[in-house]
Structure 1
């Protein structure tokens, strides 16, 4: 739009003592800046609205790309009591109450993390037998890790103080728990740790008044629980740092049956990488067999999950790329797609 020169009044010109053309130039500059800034604000507003739309679209697109939360299968095996506490002539090491208590506490802690499927205790002997007979590969059982533990220290003491008008007494229970985490696929111990816990109960009386604390049997539970709580985070981190694995159990009419199902987080449409096991070599220093890194030979896609419990769940899948030897399925395992 063409700008028009505005004639300012003679009174203002006389007061300011400026030539008329100066006022005209100033007015032109002012109006030009005004229209320019108006356009700048409109452009900035448009750019801001566009940026908000792009960010919202990116957030919407990123949701399906989140990693699958695949749960590991953990078997909690023997928890022994290596102390002399609560052992009498009729002591039965297979039904030790403290060992069972420690295993139950650990099971509860791991279940609360919602990252594991726990195999029942009575399957422990079957797992050990499988490890002994198959060289460490537990395809039929489906456990990823085995936890073995023991109560290595346990003690109870009472300490107190006596003053002129007051006295106090404190019951203290201390416990130490050791655990070993075994990778079932290799039979190797991948984590070993020990922790101590303490629980106390105190009574204090002044001139005969105050609270009293009789023998507290729950202190043993609390001390063991405190010790296990210090180990749980390390166990969880070690299990989750290792790659999730599944195994090919069978092939029927080009449909592959693999271990694991819905309770582990597997669902229709998921894709996994097929790995061929590396060659096993013997370490002359330790005498142990070491499995060399495997190689990727294909991919597989889930078409259906079956089973009602974690123990009997399987998934059906089809081969989407690569080739495998259907007569030697034990050579292969599945891992997550990166």
Structure 2
């Protein structure tokens, strides 16, 4: 008898939200497994933050249902709040408090006793490489340090589901990668992460599954690899040393596109080893030497641009 599939960590069915005449969410459905990193992508105003606010009980939906940790976000918000942590776009850190004081304040809010709160604060300061700055006011912290402290504060209550709303906005590349590593460690501990981001590389690096939200609707969902396969445009770019080689290659490779100025040929391809080998075999058979070769496969940038519209409505 197989192991039963655990219930989803997060579900949503037909979520709707409007502000005045503006429809922000227009029937959003989600099912996110335990221990999964789920990334919600979309342009500004698409409804990403509204989705997070509904699922984290900060606002109520106008229609539809949602559960987090098995509890209904509308009927049993207290149970939801006991299992979640939220790191928003804007830091919750009190700049006048030290890093340690910020964590101890969160421990009080999570109803930890004094001893347990101090122990948890020490653990998190060490984990987030903030121990040396623990007694310094947060106003002296760099952007990356402040963002790490913000996430550490989210973890004081040991949540099983974490909402990260654009957690690396404004961070330099090194600090962003540090945050990525922290998120990976959380997931390895079994935490479910719901991530919104406008950094498509971030979603590609971290997410098990990605959904693209546009004008309040989910327009595509799947693994990063599945979404990339939705978009045509993969190709090989071959360059040659002479016009004669370019001519011979163009004859050998049907459907290719020439760039005579660059002595280059663009050949449709999925970027796989088999298709690459087939192209090179045909060039070998035609006795054509290739000077250089580059492979382009669609990335999440291509997916994002292809699936989202340019006309935005306020949200």
Q: TM-score, normalized by length of structure 2?
A: 0.23
**Which protein, 1 or 2, shows the higher relative CO under an 8 Å CA cutoff with sep ≥ 6?**
2
Q: TM-score, normalized by length of structure 1?
A: 0.22
Give the greater-gyration-radius structure (CA): 1
